[in-house]
Structure formats: structure tokens, C-alpha cells
Structure 1
């Protein structure tokens, strides 16, 4: 379904019982709500699962002149949830999705009752990836295997990236990707996520693959500065355990949301 807010059409998917506890899944940069497809069937037995494509991503609109600043994106997400009459939820973010989950909790502490961050770097000091310059013309000409190579650090070494992930990557608007990436850097440089989360008083679960090649895995311990935070390392997992190993990731998430 599509939810319109501030002249921006936001694509939303809902699964599971409507009267069950709500679980909001926020995707990372260069992805969409589809990145959660492998996990959704594991969560809908006990939760009302809500996924959306952030503005400029997936099937959501990317209007000319729109701000991609993290607080602005979070406000749009909150407004879309209001249109769905969601009153309380646990916000789950993968990678940069955890940045938007944090911003949503800052703005809407009445809405977000708990947070789970999956391989979300606490601050830019923990960023270890080597960013390659991307150009729209050359990106469009890449083969599937070349795209797999370009995004390989988003997964554990040796992971066979499925075609549906390659298709998502191929559809990325590189101008929007750049704008969102810069907005995330600015937000993290202004203040780290643990510093933002600490005063909120929300239960926090941090899951981190110990073979992450985008964020330094040991940085997960920075979140222990947040009261009521639990940090769980996932041996053998890379940057995207929600895709690489959905059952293990869902087990940890369900245990956390059963509090």
C-alpha cells in the first residue's frame, strides 16, 4: 500500500495479525523493505510486521528538492505510522536503518517503546569500509557479478549474494544514495548513537556480526554505555545477518521483544 505524507508517497508493507505487537523494520542504505523478506515469515506468528521503503528508496517516491536529512526522514516515517494508526512499536533497523530508528525514537518516544539495531555503527569512527566512487553511467553497465563484487563487503566473506539483492542494488538511484549517505554521516558526526540513545531510557538490543567489513565489530561494545542495552555478537555473520542467517537473527529479536 502507499501512504501519502507531505506530498511524498511512501510504500508500506504490513504482515501478521493487526492486533499483535507492532514491529517496524527499517532497511539500510541502497536497500528497500524487501531486504527483510527472508525474516518476515519468522516474525509474523507473534507480531504485526511493518516495513516501508524510505523516501527515495524502493517503491517510495523521491520528489525533486526533498531533504534527505535523517531527522526529516524520521519525521516522514512517524507521519506514515500515524496514518496507519500505530500507537506503539519496537523499531528495528539494519545498518543505517538503525540510524533512522534512533532518530524516530528521539522524536517520538511515545511511539517507540524499544529498539533493536543490527550491524549499525555507533559513530563514523567505527566505519572501516572503503567507499568507491560510483557513476550512474558505469553502474548501469555492470554485470550481475560486478555488482556482487561492488557490494560484497555488505556480507560475510564467501557469502553467495542472491539475485534479488543484486536486482535491488541495480535499481538504486545513485544521486539519492549519495544524498542519504551524506545525511547519515552528518547525523553520526553530530552525535554518536549511544549518546543519543542513553537519555531515552528505552530497552535496546544490538546485534553485530563479528565478520562485518563495513563497521568495526568491536565498536558494538560502545552501546553498553546505554542503560538497559544488550549487545549480542553473531559469530560467522557479516554486515547483513538478517539476510545471511534469518533464523538466528529472528531468534534473538523474538527473545528481545518477548520482554
Structure 2
């Protein structure tokens, strides 16, 4: 998405900046005290940094909060599909941190963003570790595990597919059904932001490219070796990633614990009035 097309009331638009690092042009929110320790927040597949608009205020009083749009999604422009896999995105996010001259104290990731955070922590030390919000730490099983990436790869490679899918998905009723299916129907403002995203062919292309290259087998096999702090916050009303996924993953990691939230859905940080900042600060305080 071209940042110039963002509406004036897009969350934290005034605190965002565009920064080229290598072949990527990152779009990121950078707010909070400049001399404070740094938190990096990573959104999930198909979203953008806007999804943390309720989370940021509760963190930015004491922390410098950096929220990038993932490569190819939102307003971060990717030159192609080759850098949209798990390892590549983790590498590019570390390159972004280097360009900003920051070393995050912790990474907070929602859904697929939690997996990227874990991969970042494998690459370099993150003192306070990783906090996952409804972390997507499971694989598709059986035929779906083979066909889903192939389908996404095929759609992403077709020149007209992204525009057609943006037109198909970019209907209010369709977006409402998708969000309701996660257990998080969201308010009208939240639904309108996702509607704007899915109507953008570039965002759809980047999302499909990430889905096509998403491979978690290696990361999941290394969970027992992850000797850094991990806190997994899971919603009991999540219809997209059941809380049992977090429970099972935490059992395999030596320094992991789980916090279960009643009622909220997959987008719990967009439902809760404080964006789960209280739960996040609780996890950080125990480090």
C-alpha cells in the first residue's frame, strides 16, 4: 500500500516513518522515549502495524516501541517473493534494527509474528525474550499442508490474481465474516481498517507471498533448544489458533509459560481496551 493513500486518521500515521534498508522500504511506527529500552511489535499475516494501535499507549510510557509493517504487507514495500519466508523476514527485521541502531529488549508477536520473533531470538540474543499473542506455532496437517502453500504460491505468481482477490475479499460483508470467524468480530473502526488493507492488491500479493513460503517445521523441531524466556498469551475464544497450540508449544520450551485469557478471540489485542498491554507488561516484569 502506498503510504500516501492512508487516511489521515490511520493509527499512528504521524509517528510513522519510511526507511530503506537494502532492497526493502520499511514502513514503521517509532514512538515512546528515544532513550528508553526498545520493544519490537510484529503483526500477524494479512494485518499491519495498525493492529497494535490499542497496545502501544500502555507500553510507550516506559518503552520505545517500534512496530514495522512486515515485508510486503501494509506499507512496507518488498521487491519480490524471495524475502517473505520465516528466515528471510527475521533477517530483514534484524537489518532494520541495525539501521535504527537499536537492540530490542523483547519482541512481542501476534500470530505468525510470534514465530518470526522466536526465529529472531534464535539468531541474536533478546534479553527479555519473546511474548506471543495467540502464537501461530502449528502446521497444517495432511493434504492441506501440501496444497495450501502451493495454492498461495500459484495465486501470488498470477499477474491479475491479487487484484481479483482484492476485489473479491474487499467487500464489507466478506471482511466481517472473516473477522467473525477468528472469534474477534471487532468494532466498526477495526473492520474498516482491515477492509482498506484487503482492497489493496499490493498488500494481498505480499500476504499470499508470505503464505506461500511459510515453513515452520524447522522452528518447531528446535523448540526444546530455545533457552530464552517465552511468554505465550492465548485466548480461549480464538477460533483461528486454538489456545491448546500455545499450551503444547510451551511444554516443549524450557523457559516458557502460558497466560490464558477468557472470551477474547484471535485478535484479542484489538478487542481489549488496553490492547493487552497490561498482560504484556506483566510478562516483562517477571523477567
TM-score, normalization: structure 2? 0.79
Q: Distance in 1 between the 2:133 and 2:178 partners?
A: 21
2:206 to 170, 176, 182: 176
Q: Distance in 1 between the 2:182 and 2:26 partners?
A: 25
**Contact 2:23–2:78 under 8 Å retained in 1:** no
2:13 alignment counterpart: none
Q: Distance in 2 between the 1:228 and 1:65 partners?
A: 34
The alpha-carbon deviation at position 176 of structure 1 amounts to: 2.1
**Contact 2:43–2:112 under 8 Å retained in 1:** yes
Give the match's secondary structure for 1:72: helix
RMSD: 2.5
The alpha-carbon deviation at position 189 of structure 1 amounts to: 2.8
2:171 alignment counterpart: 143
The alpha-carbon deviation at position 23 of structure 1 amounts to: 0.8
1:205 to 231, 244, 252: 231
Q: How does 1:1-259 map to 2 (within 5 A)?
A: 1-64=17-80, 66-109=82-125, 111=126, 113-124=128-139, 136-141=163-168, 142-156=170-184, 159-160=186-187, 162=190, 163-171=192-200, 173-184=203-214, 186=215, 188-192=216-220, 195-222=221-248, 223-247=250-274, 249-258=276-285, 259=287
**Contact 2:71–2:78 under 8 Å retained in 1:** yes
User: Bigger CA drift: 115-124 or 131-140?
Assistant: 131-140
The alpha-carbon deviation at position 125 of structure 1 amounts to: 5.3
The alpha-carbon deviation at position 219 of structure 1 amounts to: 2.1
The alignment of Structure 1 onto Structure 2 pairs a total of residues equal to 251
Runs of 4 or more consecutive aligned structure 1 residues displaced over 6 Å after TM superposition: 131-134
Give the match's secondary structure for 1:247: coil
**Contact 1:126–1:216 under 8 Å retained in 2:** no
**Contact 1:212–1:237 under 8 Å retained in 2:** yes
Q: Distance in 2 between the 1:197 and 1:190 partners?
A: 9
Q: Distance in 2 between the 1:196 and 1:99 partners?
A: 12
Q: Residues 27-79 of structure 1, C-alpha deviation per residue, up to 9 Å, x if partnerless?
A: 11111111111111111111111110111011111213543111111111001
Name the CA shift for 1:83/1:191 in 2 (closer, same or farther; >3 Å).
closer
2:5 alignment counterpart: none
Stretches of structure 2 that go unaligned for 5 or more consecutive residues are 1-16, 156-160
Stretches of structure 1 that go unaligned for 5 or more consecutive residues are none
The alpha-carbon deviation at position 138 of structure 1 amounts to: 4.8
